[in-house]
Structure 1
Amino acid sequence: MFEVLVYVYENYWRGDACPEPQQLGRKLTAVGFEADEIQEALRWLDGLHLASHKPEQQPGTLPALPANSTLALPATDSLRVYSVAEQDHLGAECLGFVSFLETAGILAPSMREIVLDRAMAASGNPVTLDDLKIIILMVYWSFGEEPDALVLDELCDDASDRVAH
């Protein structure tokens, strides 16, 4: 599935430039992807579309609260607690990377939740860090945003080729 997502990311510059699922499926078949990979990727992309087009999920926006609500905005020092299922499916390396991006100000809490949702919908147990990076790129892509050049380099870089100093 992730090879299909990378192809979509590289060939459609924004989520809204991507064709409808049926047409995209035909194009992916013509390129040579397997039918089961295409179907899995299309289901995943449909979930991404649904999650990224909820008004409360738009970066920089917050859901409207009733006038009598006692809920407050999240504090800057608030903590996201991961469920056991999330911990098992994502693993320490992926959760650490999400935390790194969030504390660096690169991944807004609303986008983090979409990343976690889509990571939980992905196959693999645990999800690999490389697959998580593709998920993060796809979340940015769905909002029509491109991460900062240094972030993009980190998300696209193969860390196995790095030499420790």
Structure 2
Amino acid sequence: MFEVLVYVYENYWRPDACPDARQLSRKLSAVGFESDEIQDALTWLDGLSSAAESYAGTQSAVGMRVYVAAETEHLGEGSIGFISFLESAGVLRPDMREIAIDRAMAIPGSPLALEDLKIIVLMVFWSLGEEPDALILDELFVDAEDRLIH
């Protein structure tokens, strides 16, 4: 499913540029994605759209997020740490954090892989029509072991 999401992000820079679900399904199938992956991704994207509508702009800019046991277990320490890092860097607003957590909780299996969470965060930016700055894109796309330190 995550390969489909990355494909959607790379080919449709904004949600309004993305075709409707039926047409997108056909395009993804023509590219070679399997129908199960496509259906999972489309269902997940529908949930992303709903979450973006319900959370966007509703959260206070100050406050502390307390994770319930189910979230802690599902997300895992690495993902929670990454979310905290993005928040403390001023990149992830509280409403975006809540959308990311909502969509992460919709992914089966736990703990959630950090690489999968990064794609989820990227899709949250995409769903709101926002582009993360270059340093955050680097953090979301480039593996730590592939980074060159100057």
- TM-score, normalization by structure 2: 0.93
Instruction: Give matches, 1:105-124, under 5 Å.
Output: 105-124=90-109
Helix, strand or coil: the match of 1:53?
A: helix
CA distance in 2, matches of 1:49, 1:162: 33
CA distance in 1, matches of 2:38, 2:58: 34
Helix, strand or coil: the match of 2:58?
A: coil
Determine which of 127, 134, 155 is the counterpart of 2:119.
134
Determine which of 153, 156, 161 is the counterpart of 2:138.
153
1:104 equivalent in alignment to 2:92: no
- Tell me how far 1:164 sits from its aligned partner: 8.2
Unaligned residue ranges in structure 2 (runs of 5+): none
How has the CA–CA distance of structure 1 residues 147 and 12 changed in structure 2, closer, same or farther, with 3 Å as cutoff?
Answer: same
CA distance in 1, matches of 2:47, 2:111: 20
Instruction: Give matches, 1:38-117, under 5 Å.
Output: 38-54=38-54, 57-58=55-56, 61-62=57-58, 76=62, 78-117=63-102
Unaligned residue ranges in structure 1 (runs of 5+): 64-72
Q: Percent identity?
A: 64
CA distance in 1, matches of 2:38, 2:109: 16
CA distance in 1, matches of 2:130, 2:23: 23
Amino acid at match of 2:88: T
- Tell me how far 1:123 sits from its aligned partner: 2.6
CA distance in 2, matches of 1:97, 1:36: 29
CA distance in 2, matches of 1:140, 1:124: 23
The CA RMSD over aligned residues, in Å, is: 1.7
Helix, strand or coil: the match of 2:131?
A: coil
Which has more radius of gyration? Answer: 1
Amino acid at match of 1:41: A
- Tell me how far 1:15 sits from its aligned partner: 1.1
Does the 8 A contact of 1:16 with 1:142 survive in 2? no
**Higher helix fraction: Structure 1 or Structure 2?**
2
Helix, strand or coil: the match of 2:19?
A: coil
- Tell me how far 1:161 sits from its aligned partner: 2.5
- Tell me how far 1:29 sits from its aligned partner: 0.6
CA distance in 2, matches of 1:16, 1:97: 28
Per-residue CA distance 1:19-59 (angstroms, 9 max, x = gap)? 111110111111111111111000000000111123xx22x
CA distance in 2, matches of 1:110, 1:123: 23
